Amino acid sequence: MRLAPIACLLLAAAGFALTPPGPEVTLKPVEGAVEVQIGGKTVAAYLTANDVSTPARSNETYKPYLRIVDPTTGQAITKGPGGTYTHHRGIFFGWLRIGFEQQKLDLWSMGSGRQVHTAFKEQSAANGRAKLVSLINWNDKKGLLILSEERTMELSPMAAPGFLRVDFSTTVKAEAGDLQLEADPEHGGVHYRAPQEVDASKTEYFFPVAKPLPHKDLDYPWVGMNYTLGEKSYGVVQIDSPTNPRGTKWSAYRDYARFGAYPHATLKKGDTLSLKYRFLISQGAIVSTELIQAEQATFTGVKPEPVTVTQLKAETTGAPKAKK
């Protein structure tokens, strides 16, 4: 009888030993960026450089963004500078028409200024999760501070076919005066862009409604995208939060594989706007609807209703108009 408690402890210890630990998550600082590694393999990098020494470097570094990397190949699976729409970069954030004193400031394609990473408030990796908190100044061309931002990115591994979960949350504050944070679904909000080399004929989008009208519908709880690079395909799901502004449209139809949510707001000087989204990134198809809803419930704290998922082929995109 006295051995029973000991036996129980041994069995419990044996059971614990048989449970494999999750892969280690670490941070690796490199020049102009911080890489996130899972099990020793890079899965993401947050690009922070702000270099105005030459016109080329100025263009390459006019805003911070999160690059996603395939850990099996080491290749980026999101777009960087250059190519068509050079301002489309990884997971990125902005608005094309920020109203300020009769001006419309472009802090999306950065025609009116720069987003400057000034410091990290936090860099940590513990308990299977990496956390980066970036402080960013949105300046106009004269260096006037229009918005200040605190951007938090928490990254953690997922079971296959998923490999990366990204919680992207941000708070922006109106610094220069009263601001109208406006654009349109193509040119505002938090978006994900696949590389230039994507096979546009194979891009598809997924909507949690029976008859989606992507150009008209409001407040999707999530949207998914599949895209193809060479012989490999990838899935991305972006989950909305009910705490984000309502009346949000989504851009989710471009064949070059860029999509995202477009919230908009009006802020008085000193007011703030907070946004948060969860990205689920996978190899092959997007993750299952059951998993999306489980992640949605964890992320939002609200149990989602059953949904019908509809898959739509991306719309053909014409060549961009030449700038005059």
Q: State both tokens at 54.
A: 């030459």
Q: Which residues of 198-215 are buried (b: 16+ CB within 10 A; e: fewer)?
A: beeeebbbbbbeeebebe
pLDDT average, residue stretch 279-297: 97
Specify the pLDDT at position 320: 53
Cβ–Cβ < 8 Å for 205, 318: no
Task: Tell me the Ramachandran region of residue 81: left when phi exceeds 0, alpha when psi lies from -120 to 50, beta otherwise.
Answer: beta
> Is it the case that residue 321 has pLDDT exceeding 60?
no
- Answer whether 0.85 is exceeded by the pTM: yes
- Going by pLDDT thresholds of 50, 70 and 90, the confidence category of residue 319 is low
> Is it the case that residue 133 has pLDDT exceeding 70?
yes
Cβ–Cβ < 8 Å for 238, 139: no
CATH topology for 23-313? Answer: Beta-galactosidase; Chain A, domain 5 (2.70.98)
Q: How far apart are CA 216 and CA 211, in angstroms?
A: 12
Task: Report pLDDT digits (tens) over 224-255.
Answer: 999 999 999 999 999 999 999 999 999 999 99
SS (H, E, C) the chain: CCHHHHHHHHHHHHHHHHCCCCCCEEEEEECCEEEEEECCEEEEEEECCCCCCCHHHHHHCCCCEEEEECCCCCCECCCCCCCCCCCCCCEEEEEEEEEECCEEEEECCCCCEEEEEEEEEEEEEECCEEEEEEEEEEEECCCCEEEEEEEEEEEECCCCCEEEEEEEEEEEEECCCCEEEECCCCCEEEEEECCCCCCHHHCEEEECCCCCCCCCCCCCCEEEEEEEECCEEEEEEEECCCCCCCCCEEECCECCCEEEEECCEEECCCCEEEEEEEEEEEECCCCCHHHHHHHHHHHHCCCCCCCCCEEEECECCCCCCCCC
Specify the pLDDT at position 20: 52
Specify the pLDDT at position 317: 78
β-pair type (129-140, 145-156): antiparallel
> Is it the case that residue 323 has pLDDT exceeding 70?
no
pLDDT average, residue stretch 60-71: 98
> Is it the case that residue 4 has pLDDT exceeding 70?
no
Task: Report pLDDT digits (tens) over 184-207.
Answer: 999 999 999 999 999 999 999 999
- Tell me the CB-side half-sphere exposure of residue 191, using CA atoms within 13 A: 28
Q: State both tokens at 267.
A: 């802020």
> Is it the case that residue 147 has pLDDT exceeding 60?
yes
> Is it the case that residue 21 has pLDDT exceeding 70?
no
pLDDT average, residue stretch 14-34: 75
Domain residue spans in the chain?
A: 23-313
* CA 319 to mean position of chain CA atoms: 25
